[in-house]
Homo-oligomer: A and B are copies of this chain.
Amino acid sequence: MKTSGGSDAAKRRAGESAAEAVADGEVVGLGTGSTAAHAIRRLGDRVGSGLDIRGVATSFASRELAADRGIPLLDLDEAVGPDAPGIDVAIDGADQVAVGAAGSDKTASDEAAAGVGPLIKGGGAAHAREKLVDAAAGRFLVVADPSKEVPVLDRSVPVEVLPAGRSAVAEAVRAAGGEPTLRRAERKDGPVVTDNGNLVLDCAFGEIDDPGALATALSTTPGVVEHGLFVGLADEVHVGTETDVRVARR
């Protein structure tokens, strides 16, 4: 699990703050990464004290941790649908959160002006399922530490692609001004393979002035399964610091 940037104490404050915002009876999307893991651990403690919730995991890793901590789990297919309970709230981390003016996209700017900006996710290659769960949730709470906050998104956007579409998507990314790099695995030869059996291109675009436009361009590119730009999805951002937690709401 990636733990780059930010102190563990700051991440723990953020994760625990969001976990405290979950109410009895809710169905909770359980995010992936070191900060979301703190939320899952706190939710597990609360379940041990009698909190009645059910979790929906965003990844193999979050499912494993939640099961270990005694959180009852639903499959996403059990949680969403005509006769299903729905997902009340999701808690998930981010690799980067925009907190400044974020360019010409209206949704993105409105978000950023409120300190609840568009995000980049996917450092853990779980962003396809994370976006499914986070987008389906009634409230999406982002947990982060100050090292993730930027005025304008500028880190590489992880793009999950069909294996056969790798070169065609890379060409489309270059045509859009980006520089794609196939993510290589550690502890296995060759590329990272996602939980869905696909590959990841980390696509550097420099400063992303219009996250909404780039998100649509990537989504409509043949071969793209999902990308790591989350625009217009976040409802709250909980940022832990060494001493405190800041919560921004849309």
Contacts and interface: CB of A to CB of B under 8 A. Distances in A.
B132 A196 contact: no
Contacts of A162: 128-129, 132, 196, 225
- By secondary structure, the A interface counts as helix
Task: Name the interface size band of chain A.
Answer: 20 to 34
A197 interface: yes
Interface string A132-147: 1001100000000000
A178 interface: no
Contacts of A197: 196-197
A80 B167 contact: yes
A191 interface: no
A77 B171 CA distance: 11
Contacts of A174: 82
A168 B76 contact: yes
Interface string A179-223: 000000000000000001100000000000000000110011011
A215 B220 contact: yes
Nearest to A195: B164
A136 B168 contact: yes
Contacts of A84: 167
Interface of A: 75-77, 79-82, 84, 128-129, 131-132, 135-136, 162, 164-168, 170-171, 174, 196-197, 215-216, 219-220, 222-223, 225-226
Q: Would you list the 6 A-B pairs with minimal beta carbon distance, nearest first?
A: A131-B222, A219-B220, A81-B167, A77-B167, A80-B167, A219-B219
11 contacts: A76-B167, A76-B168, A77-B164, A81-B171, A82-B174, A84-B167, A128-B162, A129-B165, A136-B171, A136-B222, A196-B197
